[in-house]
Amino acid sequence: MSDTETYTPPKVWTWEQESGGTFASINRPIAGATHDKALPVGKHPLQLYSLATPNGQKVTIMLEELLALGIKEAEYDAWLIRIGDGDQFSSGFVEINPNSKIPAMFDTTTGLRVFESAAILMYLAEKFNNAFLPTDLKARTECLNWLFWLQGSAPYFGGGFGHFYAYAPTKQEYPINRFAMEAKRQLDVLDRHLADHEYLAGEAYTIADMVTWPWYGRTVRGESYDAGEFLSVHEYHNVIRWEKQIAARKPVQRGVMVNRTSGPPEGQLHERHDASDFETRTQDKIGEDA
C-alpha cells in the first residue's frame, strides 16, 4: 500500500497472509510451540538462551559485569537462539518463556525461569547482593525509573522506527516520520538528563545503564538500522559521552560478543560456556560455519 492509498480496516481482522518484510515468515497471531525440541543444559548455575540483539546484550553484559566482580556463582552457559529460524518457538523455549522472545534464563540453583530482560537483570542484581542496584531508596528509585523508561521506550524505537525504516516491505512516509520524531525525542530525553548526571541513576553505574546502552548507545554510534545520519545522532553530545564511557568497560566488550552472529568473526562468540571461550572459540578461530 502506498502513502496515498487509504486503508479501511475490516470489521473483524483475520490473518490471511504474511504482511511481508523482514521476519514475516515467523510472525503469527498466536502463541505456543511450533515444534518439540528440548533446550540444552550446560554445567553452570545459570542457563541463558539468547541472541545478541540489544535485548539479549543487556543480560550478557550484566553476567560479565558480575563475573568481573569476582562472583563465581554468576557463571553461565549462553546458548544461541536463532530467532530467524524460529528456535524461540521450540517446546523447550516456550516452557521457559511463553512469550517466545529472547532472552530467557533458567537458574538451576533455584529452579526458577526468568524472562523479560529487565526482570532478568533485577533477578540477578537481587540474587547477588544488589549488585548494580542501589539500596538507598532515592538512588534505587531513580535506577528503576530509568530501567522502566527503557522498557517502555525501546519498543517504539525498535518496533516502531526500526521496523518502518529498515524492515517494512515498503518505505512509507507517515510511519517513518512518526517514529523518527519519537526516536529523536527519546534521545533528547537522555541527552538532557546526562548533561547533569554521569550515569542514568546518578554517579553510579547500574542496571539502568546496562539495559539502555545496547539500544541508545548503538544508536549514537550510528549502528542502529544504519540510521545515524538520518537521525542526526551527532547532536546528542551527552549521550555520546556516556556511550563511550560504558563501551570502554571490559565486561561490556565481552558481553556484546556473546551469542553474536553478525559483524567481524573475531567479535562473534556464538555460544559461551567458559571464560576462555573469548580467546579460543570466536568465529575467526573455529570457522565461519561452526
Q: Hey, which residues does 188 pair with through a beta bridge? A: none
Domain end, chosen from 107, 127, 147, is at 127
| 102 and 149 fall within a common domain | no
For position 5, what pLDDT does the model report?
73
Q: What angle do CA 255, 184, 250 make, to 5 degrees?
A: 15
d(CA 144, CA 152): 12
pTM of the predicted model as reported, rounded to 2 decimal places: 0.95
Residue 254 in 3-state DSSP? helix
Local confidence pLDDT in tens for the 290 residues of the chain: 455 678 899 999 988 765 666 777 788 899 999 999 999 999 999 999 999 999 999 999 999 999 999 999 999 999 999 999 999 999 999 999 999 999 999 999 999 999 999 999 999 999 999 999 999 999 999 999 999 999 999 999 999 999 999 999 999 999 999 999 999 999 999 999 999 999 999 999 999 999 999 999 999 999 999 999 999 999 999 999 999 999 999 999 999 999 999 999 999 999 999 999 999 999 999 975 54
Q: Cis before residue 214, ω within 30 degrees of 0?
A: no
| 217 and 241 fall within a common domain | yes
d(CA 193, CA 136): 20
d(CA 207, CA 37): 33
Q: What is the CATH number of the domain that holds 119?
A: 3.40.30.10
**Is 10 part of any domain?**
no
| 102 and 195 fall within a common domain | no
- Picking from 137, 148, 153, the residue whose alpha carbon sits closest to that of residue 189 is 153
| 147 and 227 fall within a common domain | yes
pLDDT tens sequence across 208-252: 999 999 999 999 999 999 999 999 999 999 999 999 999 999 999
Specify burial of residue 37 (Cβ count, 10 A radius: 0-12, 13-18, 19+).
middle
Which is it for the CA torsion 155, 157, 160, 166, positive or negative? Answer: negative
d(CA 172, CA 214): 27
- Picking from 70, 41, 38, 52, the residue whose alpha carbon sits closest to that of residue 218 is 52
Q: What is the CATH number of the domain that holds 212?
A: 1.20.1050.10
Q: How far is CA 132 from CA 121, 144, 201, in A?
A: 9, 11, 10
Helix axis angle, 173-194 to 237-247, nearest 10°: 70
| 146 and 120 fall within a common domain | no
Nearest-Å Rg of the Cα atoms of the chain is: 20
Host domain of residue 270: 260-286
| 118 and 224 fall within a common domain | no
Contact 197, 205 (CB under 8 A): no
Domain end, chosen from 101, 127, 153, is at 127
**Is 28 part of any domain?**
no
Helix axis angle, 117-127 to 137-155, nearest 10°: 160
**Is 75 part of any domain?**
yes
**Is 204 part of any domain?**
yes
d(CA 241, CA 253): 17
| 154 and 96 fall within a common domain | no
Q: Is 32 left (phi over 0), alpha (psi -120 to 50) or beta?
A: left
Question: Residue by residue, what is the 3-state secondary structure of 37-56?
Answer: CCCCCCCCCEEEEECCCHHH
Q: What angle do CA 69, 71, 72 make, to 5 degrees?
A: 135
| 150 and 217 fall within a common domain | yes
**Is 35 part of any domain?**
no
| 57 and 101 fall within a common domain | yes
Domain end, chosen from 71, 99, 127, is at 127
| 120 and 178 fall within a common domain | no
| 182 and 234 fall within a common domain | yes
For position 19, what pLDDT does the model report?
64
The tally of domains found in the chain comes to 3
**Is 21 part of any domain?**
no
| 279 and 222 fall within a common domain | no
For position 56, what pLDDT does the model report?
98
**Is 282 part of any domain?**
yes
